[in-house]
């Protein structure tokens, strides 16, 4: 599946080698490491429905103010929030995951 980053910060966390990430970070290195791992899973699946087979991700549609967004678990406290955009290319519908933010789940 195609993954796009809605923020330069998330893109930098993903493309920068882990050992090159320096300075004061908004998240712990464990969260960044989990983020990189989960993005790899998102890239590897064929469709959003395939995410349901990874029970540990806790893939879910969000409600309320976040209606239309989805999340997967990075750890017990943090979630990766994203939206899904569909583009029609002839008879084929391409699902694109747009990564929005890393969020504390209960705040």
Mind listing the pLDDT tens digit for each residue in 6-34? 998 889 889 988 788 777 888 888 999 99
Q: What is the DSSP letter of 37?
A: H
**Single pTM value for the model:** 0.86
Sign of CA dihedral 11, 98, 107, 59: negative
Domain ranges of the chain: 2-104
Q: What Cα–Cα distance (Å) separates residue 62 from each residue in 45, 57, 94, 99?
A: 20, 14, 22, 14
CATH class (in words) of the domain with range 2-104: alpha beta
pLDDT category at 107 given cuts 50, 70, 90 is low
pLDDT at 93: 61
pLDDT category at 48 given cuts 50, 70, 90 is confident
Rounded Cα distance between 102 and 5, Å, is 12
């Amino acid at each position: 599946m195609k993954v796009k980053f809605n923020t330069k910060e998330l893109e930098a966390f993903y493309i920068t080698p882990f050992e090159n990430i320096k300075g004061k970070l908004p998240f712990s290195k464990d969260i960044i490491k989990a983020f990189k791992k989960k993005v790899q899973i998102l890239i590897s699946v064929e469709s959003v429905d395939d995410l349901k087979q990874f029970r540990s991700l806790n893939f879910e549609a969000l409600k309320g103010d976040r209606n239309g967004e989805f999340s997967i678990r990075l750890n017990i406290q943090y979630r990766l929030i994203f939206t899904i955009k569909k583009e029609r290319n002839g008879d084929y519908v391409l699902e694109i995951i747009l990564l929005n933010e890393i969020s504390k789940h209960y705040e």
